[in-house]
């Protein structure tokens, strides 16, 4: 289970233990140098459009196009 959202996780072949999963999780949520830092960098400089990627391609496309109008 994801420690942040509680969602189901799927493991990569190289992430079969809790230490490896924890390390990848820590890198993603590192606000100084991780993925989250990159996301925040761009959010401060450009317009970011968020969409829910769980529905099908058609629904996601429609939501994105609506937000671009």
- Does the pTM surpass 0.85? The reply is no
Count of other CB atoms within 10 angstroms of residue 4: 9
Q: Which of 24, 34, 56 is nearest to 9 (CA)?
A: 24
pLDDT-derived band at 11 (thresholds 50, 70, 90) equals: low
pLDDT score for 9: 77
| pLDDT tens profile 14-61 | 767 888 888 889 999 999 999 999 999 999 999 888 899 889 999 999
CA 9 – CA 2 distance, rounded (Å): 6
* Dihedral, CA of residue 20, residue 10, residue 57 and residue 45, to nearest 10: -20
Helix, coil or strand: residue 11: coil
pLDDT score for 35: 93
């Amino acid at each position: 289970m994801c420690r942040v959202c509680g969602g189901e996780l799927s493991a990569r072949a190289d992430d079969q233990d809790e230490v490896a999963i924890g390390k990848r999780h820590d890198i993603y949520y590192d606000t100084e140098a991780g993925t989250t830092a990159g996301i925040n960098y761009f959010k401060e400089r450009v317009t970011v459009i968020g969409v829910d990627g769980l529905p099908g391609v058609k629904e996601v496309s429609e939501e994105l196009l609506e937000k671009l109008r």
